[in-house]
Amino acid sequence: MRLATLVWSNLRRRPTRSALTVSGVAIAVMAVVALVGVARSFEKTLLAIYQARGVDLVVVRAGGVQRLGSVLDQKLVDQVRQMPGVAHVAPALAEVVSFEKLDIFGVLVRGLPLDSFLLDDLNVVAGRRLESFDRRAVMLGAVIARNLDAAVGAKLEIVPGKPCEVVGIFQSHNLFEDGSIIMPLEELQTLMDRKGEVTALMVIARDKSKAGLDALREQISSLAPQIEVLMTRDYIETAIEVRLARAVAWLTSTIALMVGTIGMINTMLTAVFERTREIAILRAVGWGKGRVVGLILAESIVLGLAGAVAGSLLAIAITQFLSRLPQSGRLISGEISPGVVAQGFLIAAMVGLVGGLFPAFRAAQLAPTEGLRHE
Amino acid sequence: MNSVDGDRTLLRADRVSKQYRDGRVEALVDVSLRISSGEYLAVMGPSGSGKSTLLNILGGLDRPTEGEVYFQGQALGAMKNLDRYRAEKVGFVFQSFHLLPTLTALQNVQIPMFELSLSAAQRAQRAAELLDLVGMSHRSSHVPAELSVGERQRVAIARALANGPLLLLADEPTGNLDTKTAAGILDLFERLHDEQGLTLVLVTHDPGLAARAQRIVRMRDGRIVAEP
């Protein structure tokens, strides 16, 4: 017989309680894996928009924590373009709109100049590209088009009372972009009454070395006092939306884990109490305290890891489900990285370890002669 | 055998006292006892006379409040923990068997062997041999609930022998058995004593059983009252 046989026989004798404890841990792990996974995938999707096009630097208004709330003077575009270190620069005006009647909120509308490199690799799957003669015209990403149930020729009230015509539907390689709406920059400025304003500038540098980029950042920063030049990755990671998503994920996970741990402690304390006499028998036949602690911990860790397996599967199922819902499908790819699952397993093992520790020491402290009298 | 001067003392209790509840209960008072290697000793006395407490202290399950127990001349009180002593030198047999309910007979016998450095296969092999020794081979895959009380006690005896102890301590081992089954268990104890040279200490309140031992120690109110 191996110790594992004893562990297994102890867990199997109270199937309901073991199953409930596993469920508790599973829900905690599911919360961690799903929420952290979604936050990560949101971040990755966002980053990919820029990286796929080789954007090195993003220019925004200094001190703005909410990236979409940044306001820059459009005149900066030409100043940056003239710099010798700049290969390309593309401004964008970002607005967030909602279609309340359809229950769809927080849709990104980007105003882009028609010659913007951000438009280069969009694959038009229906209708046509935006043209310079277009007024109040939009292109829809494939995901948002599906969610809005809008086809080419449809009229969309991005601003109430000012319908815009859908001239084309595009498919990019990025879920986040496919969930967005694109308008000619000037049209969006007019529509939103933001003449001469842009949200950010995307810069592609000629020299992509660290020194080259640092020099360029310095140069662009000196154009005006109120602007900030960020590396693409920093731009994404420091965005309040990303940080908020991370914080919410971790906070929820922490709470779930605390609940899971308390459930584990409860289960194992009950088990130790019920088995007072059996533990005393183990001590009586010569088991040291360490081996008793090991037995109880092994039981709680097995419960924890079983919870991790169940929780990870649930998390994968849930993100798959969410990625197909119109409200969230724009943002979530439904992929969960192995790293996040590993994190879930690590945390479940911790729940088992921490949740089992106190009961295990209680069991080891028991005087064998006391325990043998216990019925 | 144990020392150069031919002293055959295996276990010696020297003025052992045990108090409970801050001294309000005196379970043992100034008990001294010498047990020779290979001896078969019965401890008799009414309930509450301290015989179980004495057995627990001799077996390293409990520590005395005063006095000292020496095993082969070594003071138990000087041992950092008594787990190893219990695991390697002593085998306990209890009145209510104390088998683990979820494990088969074969698995129950292996429980003490985790303290030795044996492989899982070696543990199983040794347990099978011990079950054979106590006449329980045919029941090795049964859990305690499927065994008769007499069979359970045989399995418990096999477990007590798991790590090859020198000393077998039995606390009312036949207390839950009918006369016929009890006689069979006692025969087994005596066979182990005779064939394996085990030192056997049997706690009982049954004069008939005690009479079969080589020596009887009588206790009352925590003291040894007569040691012929």
Q: What is the DSSP code string of A250-306?
A: HHHHHHHHHHHHHHHHHHHHHHHHHTHHHHHHHHHTT--HHHHHHHHHHHHHHHHHH
Nearest CA in chain A to B94: A372
Range of the domain at A87: 63-225
Task: Dump pLDDT digits (tens) for A119-159.
Answer: 888 899 999 999 999 999 999 999 899 889 999 999 998 88
Q: Are B57 and B201 in contact (CB under 8 A)?
A: no
pTM, two decimals, is 0.78
Measured between CB atoms, which of B90, B123, B163 is closest to A1? Answer: B123
Between positions 235 and 294 of A, the ones with CB within 8 A of B are: 277-278, 281-289, 291
Number of structural domains chain A divides into: 2
Whole-angstrom distance, CA of residue A260 vs CA of residue A85: 54
A365 shares a domain with A308: yes
Task: Dump pLDDT digits (tens) for B118-145.
Answer: 999 999 999 999 999 999 999 999 999 9
Task: Dump pLDDT digits (tens) for A38-68.
Answer: 888 778 878 888 888 889 999 998 876 566 7
Q: Residue A201 above 70 pLDDT?
A: yes
Q: Is residue A81 part of a domain?
A: yes
Q: Is residue A263 part of a domain?
A: yes
Q: Residue B6 above 70 pLDDT?
A: no
A73 shares a domain with A220: yes
A198 shares a domain with A335: no
A178 shares a domain with A130: yes
pLDDT of residue A234: 87
Q: A40 to chain B, minimum CA–CA distance in Å? A: 45
Whole-angstrom distance, CA of residue A287 vs CA of residue B163: 12
Task: Dump pLDDT digits (tens) for A260-306.
Answer: 899 999 999 999 999 999 999 999 999 999 999 999 999 999 999 99
A198 shares a domain with A88: yes
A20 shares a domain with A91: no
Q: Is residue A138 part of a domain?
A: yes
The last residue of one of the domains, among A225, A253, A280, is A225
The last residue of one of the domains, among A156, A191, A225, is A225
A13 shares a domain with A96: no
Q: Is residue A290 part of a domain?
A: yes
Q: Is residue A232 part of a domain?
A: no
Q: Residue B160 above 80 pLDDT?
A: yes
Q: Is residue A56 part of a domain?
A: no
Q: Is residue A215 part of a domain?
A: yes
Which residue has better confidence, A162 or B160?
B160
Query: In sequence order, which residues have a C-beta less than 8 Å from that of residue B130 and are 6 or more positions away?
Result: B109, B158, B159, B161, B162
pLDDT of residue B228: 53
Q: B171 to chain A, minimum CA–CA distance in Å? A: 12
Q: Is residue A58 part of a domain?
A: no
Nearest CA in chain B to A289: B83
Size of interface A-B (CB pairs under 8 A): 76
A282 contacts on B by Cβ (under 8 Å): 111
Q: B191 to chain A, minimum CA–CA distance in Å? A: 22
The last residue of one of the domains, among A182, A197, A225, is A225
A361 shares a domain with A321: yes
A213 shares a domain with A96: yes
Both structure tokens of A228: 């900030």
A172 shares a domain with A67: yes
B62 contacts on A by Cβ (under 8 Å): 367-369
A36 shares a domain with A83: no
Q: Residue B227 above 60 pLDDT?
A: no
B88 contacts on A by Cβ (under 8 Å): 286
A71 shares a domain with A198: yes
